[in-house]
Amino acid sequence: MNETLSLLIGLINAIAAAVGAWIAVAQWRASRSKPPIAAPPPRAPAVTPRLPAPLRAPVAARQDGRILARTAAVAVAFGAVAAVFSALTDLVYGVEQSSDGEHGALLTVLASVLYLVALVAFLLGLFVLVAGLVKRRKRVVRLGLLAVLLSQTLWLAMWLTSFM
């Protein structure tokens, strides 16, 4: 029963990591700068009335949005990595409990990396969440919340394995 529960927890964390990685990659691709649209070539040199030049959006405002979107993508990616390491740590713990072999060093390394990555994902996720709320960008708020939730999968895994 304990091994089955450990494998189920690892599978759930792996699925959460895959979804988080997919969202992070999609967000990263969406935040890339687009090539400028060129004006069509003129057909014939005709006299055109002089019109004032159209107003351009400030470049700094567009760059801030891209930077925030890329930060959100990085936060979700760190959350996905935290979920992967959570699944790996859970699986190694399950193997260690079911066999008499020593996996203590591997478990220590995985847990250390997991805590570090989860902390980075949590802090970046909170930053993106607050920045999204301040700038009123719903998509960024959702991505920040997703990063925070993915960073907390380690606590769910530890809670579930404590019952084994």
Count of beta carbons in the 10 Å neighbourhood of residue 51: 6
Tell me which residue of 3, 5, 13 sits closest to 155, measured CA to CA.
Answer: 13
Tell me which residue of 83, 160, 92 sits closest to 118, measured CA to CA.
Answer: 83
Measured distance CA(152)–CA(82) in Å, rounded: 8
Domain boundaries, the chain: 2-31+66-161
Per-residue model confidence as pLDDT tens digits over 61-107: 556 677 788 888 888 888 888 888 888 887 777 777 777 666 677 77
Do residues 121 and 75 touch, judged by C-beta distance below 8 A?
A: yes
Do residues 58 and 128 touch, judged by C-beta distance below 8 A?
A: no
Per-residue model confidence as pLDDT tens digits over 19-44: 777 777 777 777 666 666 666 666 65
Per-residue CA distances from 101 to 23, 75, 98, 104 (Å): 38, 36, 9, 9
Do residues 14 and 87 touch, judged by C-beta distance below 8 A?
A: yes
pLDDT at 72: 84
Look at residue 60 and tell me whether its pLDDT is greater than 60. no
